[in-house]
Each structure stands twice: as C-alpha cells, then as structure tokens.
Amino acid sequence: MQTLAEVFAKAKSENRAALIGYMPAGFPSKELSKRVIDAMVAGGVDIVEVGFPYSDPVMDGPIIQQAAEIALRNNTNAKDVLQVVSAVKVPALVMSYWNPIEKFGVENFARELSAVGGVGVITPDLTIEESADWISTTTDHNINRVYVVAPSTSDLRLKEVTKACSGFVYAASLMGVTGARNSVSSAAGELVSRIRKVTDLPVAVGLGVSNAEQAKHVASYADGVIVGSAFIKLVLESQSDEEALERVNTLAAELAAGVRRP
C-alpha cells in the first residue's frame, strides 16, 4: 500500500491534485459501503476517508448527518469501521469525531487501525492542546494525524496546528458545516497560501466540492481535493444498489478528470 506522501508525490508528478473521497462506514449498509468505496476508487479516487458514524455530528451538514443516522441504525461500530478500512484498495484514513475514538480507547484504536492498514485519522474536533496522548500514540503506531484549519484560523494558530499534522493538512474552504455547494468559497485559495507559508505538508481542500469544474478550480492551487457529500447524495437518491454504484463511479471519473491541471 502506498503512503500518503507517495500518493501526493505521484499526483504532483502527473501535474494534478490527488482526489480524496469520503464515505461513512455502514452506509447505506455495512457491506454496500465497501462496494461504494470500491466504485469510487475504480473511478479514480486516490485516497479514501472512511467516516466513523457519530450520533452528534455537529460539524456535518444534512446529507452527511442523514448518512450517519442510517449507518448508526445499521449498528455500525468501531470494529465495522476498521473492517471497511481493511477492504480499501488505496490509502485510507478514518474521519472521526474524538468521542468515538476515546470511547473505543486511544491506544486500541491506533493499534488496530495500523493493523488493518489504515494510514491516518482526521479529527475535526480535537484541539492540539488536548492532543498530547494522541500525538504520542499515533507516532508509536505510524498513524498520520490530520487536523482541520479554516479561513478564520490565525497565522500563529496555523503554524501551531500544522506542526502537529502529518500526512497532509485539511483546509476547510469556509466556515460552516459540510455539504455540496454551487461554488467553492474564494477564501480557500487564500487559506492554502497562508498554510504554505508555515508547512511543507500537502494541503487538501474540503467542504463544498461537488463537480468537475469545482474540482478543477481547487486543483489549481491545492494538492488534494476532498469530496464527500456529493458522493453520498448520489447514493441517497439512487433507486437501487447498482444505480448507486454506477453513479458514484461516474462522478469519481469526472472529478478525477477535473483535478488534472492544464
């Protein structure tokens, strides 16, 4: 399995951004979530974020919240998340609020994630001030730590947060919850420029990308383009499993073409 650094380096050598796709484990069912992720990868997704469903997803928009509710009704737990990660054919991270990780056990989670081939964890609500144990544990198990920064993050704070990151930096394109949008915030490009002044890590932009044109725009200044709600929306709207897989694969291929720079 490639490392995150190798994926970003390969994308750069091909004059494109890496395409990162998000899908919650256990949505729309435990087994189908694996097939949906396979369809995303077959379409051109380079890195997968496997969502850890949580009952209080305050940072997520209605589409991801709905997916999380479905996954929780399917009794999706930490073991199921790890099982999905183990089945992903490209580098996979877990995207999770801190509470489920803490409940499972920080040491247990890092150890078991590493054992199934997971390469990192994105923790949107974990502050660096509360990260001492997490930093130590993930370092011991060779797990990348990805923190989220936003346009409101000060320059001093950017330097502190990115110093604790490994793998890449997650740049939220705007303030607010997740969700596909008609346009990507103009603040994203400025944020990426500010991040590049304080770290050499790749920068991936998320929140709002839903089509190839938006992916192309973000790829012009970022190292990675993150897409989540757009994939989930297709699954929610599909009338059958096969339709969902086909539509997800098609969107992934369109986005993969979009992240290629002229």
What the chain holds in terms of domains, given with CATH numbers, is 4-258 (3.20.20.70)
Assess whether pLDDT exceeds 70 at residue 178.
no
Catalytic residue among 46, 60, 112, 223: 60
- Which pLDDT band, with edges at 50, 70 and 90, does 177 fall under? very low
Catalytic residue among 6, 14, 38, 49: 49
DSSP output for 63-84: HHHHHHHHHHHTT--HHHHHHH
Say whether 160 is catalytic. no
What are 41-81's pLDDT values in tens digits? 999 999 999 999 998 877 788 999 999 999 999 999 999 99
Q: What is the pTM of this model?
A: 0.94
Average pLDDT score over the chain = 94
The reported pLDDT for the residue numbered 58 is 77
What was the pLDDT predicted at 262? 76
**Residue 60 annotated in active site:** yes
